[in-house]
Amino acid sequence: MCGLAGFLDTREIAGEPLIAPMLEALTHRGPDDAGVFRDAGLVLGHRRLSVLDLSPEGHQPMVSACGRYVMAFNGEVYNHAALREALDAEGPTSWRGHSDTEVMLAAVARWGLEAALGRFVGMFAFALWDRQARRLSLARDRLGEKPLYYGWQDGVFLFASELKALRAHPAWRGGVAPGALALFMRHGFVPAPLSIHPGIYKLPPGTWLTLDEGTSPGALPAPSPYWSLSSVIEAGRAAPFAGSEQEAIDALERHLGEAVALQRVADVPLGAFLSGGIDSSVVVALMQSQARALGQEPVRTYTIGFHEKAYDEAGHAEAVARHLGTRHTALYVSPEDAQAVIPRLPWLYDEPFADVSQIPTYLVCALARREVTVALSGDGGDELFGGYERYRLAGAPGALVEQVPASLRRLFGRTLSAVPLAAWDALFARLPARLRVKRAGDRVHKLAQLLAEADFDAVYRGAMSHWSGPEALVRGLDSGEPLTVLSGAGGLPPSLSRLQRMMARDTLMYLPDDILVKVDRAAMAVSLETRVPLLDHRLVEFAWSLPEHYRRRDGQGKWLLRQVLWRQVPRALIERPKMGFGVPIGEWLRGPLRDWAEDLLDPARLAREGYLAPEPVRRAWAEHVSGARNRAYPLWNVLMFQSWLAAVENRSGG
């Protein structure tokens, strides 16, 4: 896991002094080594976190054995040993070390870039310079685990792992893109290909982009896909899994076991996050089983605990760890510990980002980094196997939307909204424990709002929205809110079920732009590499070949994943209501964070900055502090933008 940065400037100005501050901004991603390559107007830099081949032979940027290609690479290609064997079988190959970067360069030289991309199994973002063709190529892994930003600024083509490196170049002009800001206010993150800055983009997952040295400044070729989820879904439908349930369980265990085995390979200490939930528990169970079979020491596992019982999963994680026999570390943190992270969030996430679980994610990464350099996580299980609670919308609510006329649905919604929030809360509090719902009144009123939507896809977009009408909040939105996969862009195969559409859209947007951003930035801030076995693309392809009832059954997600886990862990240790991984932001905003928030939400400040209309912000703030409504999520979006804006303006003047 590393960081890369570079630029292409045909004016051939002195490049190496300009790359130095860009690389300095990425030191956290690669504290072990740094390197620079220059070829006329191309300057390519790299910061290295040594994980494979700790020797100088792993230094980057790396030149291919043939001398034609130069690569700066962030990530891991897990099947590099098999690729090395395949290359050797085809003909003589000269090897210097045993890094995956060297294998990638040899693969590109032998098979070409697009064919090589199709054979890489892993997570990666890289820049490749073809010295012969004078061509720069950028590429990103299939699911979007590793980040890569790019764009033109003042006649210079910039690219880097994080925005802070781009801002360190003197050509940087910055600014805030109103469309990206509107999407951030809606979702709490900026979806690819946009970034918060105009003219700067995220390379979409599963694509590569090529830029010739002579490309006119400002011209951007469209990224080309080498893998697409739509194609995977179509292939799964054309050749569905036809085995029995037992055969499906065996196949999933085999696929996941192979992914875990590949991702356990490292030349540095390795561990895993363990929340005690389905996904992390099955990953850790397979890791521990493999370690035991090989006579290795127990897996090191980590969890963060909170004293607020409603947010604490540490006890569940410790029970699973005891059963599996891992070497477990749990750290209980106070509200003050968690709140101390908040001032660092603008630097950590580098563009506005408002998933409140960003705080405990950073804390558990910092905990793990005390002992290990690599940690495996269980991310991806919800999107692949239908685990999110919101997928319940695909059942009766979805049928209601599709079968009942909108006029009747709106009438029913108005009836639900007429009952005060407190009354709904009190009603649900009287129900049996298994039927109780946190913030019941807010959820019922949200459902009432969703029932007014035109169709089910609009309902799901509304369910994924913190501010449902950002056009009333964001100033300067002249061309309207940009399209996303939730609002019509990035077409999916026809005739997908409601559940399949939800899972596919989450895999295309929520997973790479929220979940994986959260983990990558939090981990890299402490120089920790994270790996995600459930996102091995071959496992993703297998999951999309499964019948829907193997993924979600009787209103419960992850049916097949659970069956694999029950072979390793008693279900009594796991079966419980899903808690999520968050902190009590709503309560904190009414208490210890109130003064901090009040300063950022000051109406005169909002008016002066000119990005957000003060009126809807202040209305939401008044509702929240009075206790009339829980407006924590939309307010957290505003607060994360405001704090990011202040940090950027203090660093660079915007």
Average pLDDT over residues 209-218: 90
Position 532 pLDDT exceeds 90: yes
Residues listed for the chain: 654
**Residue the block writes with tokens 């800001």:** 181
Residue type, 63: V
- What is the pTM for the complete model shown? 0.94
Coil, helix or strand at residue 35: strand
Least confident among 11-25, 361-375, 571-585, 632-646: 571-585
Q: Which two tokens stand for residue 520?
A: 């990558």
Report how far residue 49's alpha carbon sits from residue 172's, in angstroms, rounded to the nearest whole number.
27
- The answer to whether 127 and 101 have CB atoms below 8 angstroms apart is no
608's CB contacts (< 8 A; 6+ apart) are: none
Query: What was the pLDDT predicted at 411?
Result: 85
Position 105 pLDDT exceeds 60: yes
CA nearest to 186, candidates 487, 559, 519, 432: 487
Position 653 pLDDT exceeds 50: no
What is the band of 55 on the pLDDT scale with cuts at 50, 70, 90? low
Position 567 pLDDT exceeds 90: yes
Give me the sheet containing 270-273, strands edge to edge. Answer: 327-333, 300-306, 270-273, 374-376, 529-531
Question: Of residues 383 and 412, which shows the higher confidence score?
Answer: 383
Taking each helix axis from N to C terminus, what angle separates 440-450 and 421-429, rounded to the nearest 10 degrees? 120
Residue type, 648: V
CA nearest to 636, candidates 619, 647, 614, 621: 621
**Residue the block writes with tokens 């405990």:** 360
Question: Of residues 541 and 575, which shows the higher confidence score?
Answer: 541
Q: Is it true that the peptide bond before 61 is cis, omega within 30 degrees of 0?
A: yes
Query: What was the pLDDT predicted at 92?
Result: 83
Q: How many beta carbons lie within 10 A of that of residue 170, not counting itself? A: 11
DSSP 326: -
Q: What percent of the chain has pLDDT over 70?
A: 96
| CA distances to 148, 168, 328, 357, 522 from 517, in Å | 11, 21, 26, 12, 8
Backbone angles phi, psi at 403, to 5 degrees: -110, -20
Q: Which two tokens stand for residue 538?
A: 């071959």
Distance from chain centroid for Cα 549: 26
